[in-house]
Amino acid sequence: MARTVLVTGGNRGIGLAIAQAFAKQGDRVAVTHRGSGVGDGDLFGVQCDITDAAAVDAAFTAVEAELGPVEVLVANAGITDDTLLMRMSEEQFSSVVDTNLTGAFRCAKRAATKMVRARWGRMIFISSVVGLYGSPGQVNYAASKAGLVGVARSITRELGSRNITANVVAPGFIETDMTAALPDERKAEYRKAIPAGRFATPDEVAGVVTWLAGDTAGYVSGAVIPVDGGLGMGH
Ligand code: NDP
């Protein structure tokens, strides 16, 4: 059955791969962007900065008018602003949390009303292996990504009886603009630590997300699903 899907930050990277995977299986797919537009004609683009609650509300309203109520929310948009704890400003901490964690909350809250009314919904939060594993220089990012676990599990307890699931996908190292910025020596070190011995492609995250949104995953909720080649095992 075709669903209406909204992927935040779906104009590039992991978000774009997720959006295209849903479109390929016949869903109606909207993506947010921050002014770049969307290069894929199968996707309905809406401009939205998820740090702005009014912009989130307007984006959902636009998607509802064009494609119908959002049945599957993929909260994917995220940023990093790395530096060591002792150098990290409060602004660096709060801006990353405001985007990655509060931004996901804004979208989930806006999506929930319609999902409750429909008595069906899927929320998928794109976290990171770093959320539970920790990472030097990423106190802000790790805190925001760990917070998504509490969000998904609390939504599961609040809305689970309404046929709404909320899950977390925790990618390891995926080849996108975000990891392209890493120095080559750091990448080589990371590859050594990953049991799979390689980074993943965005499509390998997308496959897990489309599965979670489908009918066969209806009894999976509050889960944290790693897509990390074994890097975070045990966390
Ligand atoms: P990219 O940096 O390639 O893309 C980030 C996306 O988020 C862009 O679409 C960007 O929009 C959007 N975005 C950022 N801030 C905002 C905002 N305030 N409002 C709306 N959209 C925003 O990242 P990836 O594709 O690599 O990452 C996607 C998600 O996966 C992120 O949450 C990231 O933390 C997570 N992740 C990535 C990993 C990796 O190895 N790449 C590993 C683990 C998790 P714009 O184009 O306008 O900047």
ipTM of the complex: 0.99
- Ligand 1 atom closest to 14 (CA): 25
79 alpha carbon – ligand 1 mean position (Å): 6
- Ligand 1 atom closest to 11 (CA): 9
Task: Please indicate, yes or no, if residue 233 is contained in any of the structural domains.
Answer: no
Task: Please indicate, yes or no, if residue 192 is contained in any of the structural domains.
Answer: yes
- Residues of the domain holding 154: 4-227
Structurally, the chain folds into a number of domains equal to: 1
201 alpha carbon – ligand 1 mean position (Å): 14
Does position 77 have pLDDT exceeding 90, yes or no?
A: yes
Return the bridge partners of 71, or none: none
Contact 178, 12 (CB under 8 A): no
Task: Please indicate, yes or no, if residue 61 is contained in any of the structural domains.
Answer: yes
Task: Please indicate, yes or no, if residue 234 is contained in any of the structural domains.
Answer: no
What is residue 98's DSSP assignment? I
Specify the 3-state DSSP secondary structure of 136: coil
Q: What is the CATH number of the domain that holds 109?
A: 3.40.50.720
CA distances from 208 to 3, 9, 52, 169 (A): 17, 18, 29, 8
Contact 178, 163 (CB under 8 A): no
Q: What digits encode the pLDDT tens for the residues 112-138?
A: 999 999 999 999 999 999 999 999 999
Task: Please indicate, yes or no, if residue 90 is contained in any of the structural domains.
Answer: yes
Specify the 3-state DSSP secondary structure of 83: coil
* pTM of the shown model: 0.98
Nearest to 228 by CA among 150, 127, 122: 127
